[in-house]
Amino acid sequence: MPVMYRVGIGYDVHKLVGDRKLFLGGVEIPHSLGLEGHSDADALIHAICDALLGAIGEVDIGHFFPNTDDRWKNVRSKVFLQEISRLIALRGGRIVNVDSTLIAEVPKVAPYINSMKHQIAAALNVNAAVVGVKATTNETLGFVGRREGIAAMAVASVALPETPTFNSSYA
Question: What DSSP letter does each residue of 154-170 carry, written as one string?
Answer: EEEEEEEESS-----S-
Question: What phi, psi does 144 have (nearest 5°)?
Answer: -70, -45
Query: pLDDT tens per residue, the chain (171 residues)?
Result: 789 999 999 999 999 999 999 999 999 999 999 999 999 999 999 999 999 999 999 999 999 998 898 999 989 999 999 999 999 999 999 999 999 999 999 999 999 999 999 999 999 999 999 999 999 999 999 999 999 999 999 999 999 998 645 555 654
Helix (H) or strand (E) holding 37: none
- Report yes or no: 133 and 44 within 8 Å, Cβ to Cβ: yes
CATH number 3.30.1330.50 is the correct assignment for the domain at 3-161: yes
Domain boundaries defined on the chain: 3-161
- Report yes or no: 64 and 79 within 8 Å, Cβ to Cβ: no
Number of H helices, E strands in the chain: 5, 7
Report yes or no on whether pTM surpasses 0.85.
Answer: yes
pLDDT in tens, 38-47: 999 999 999 9
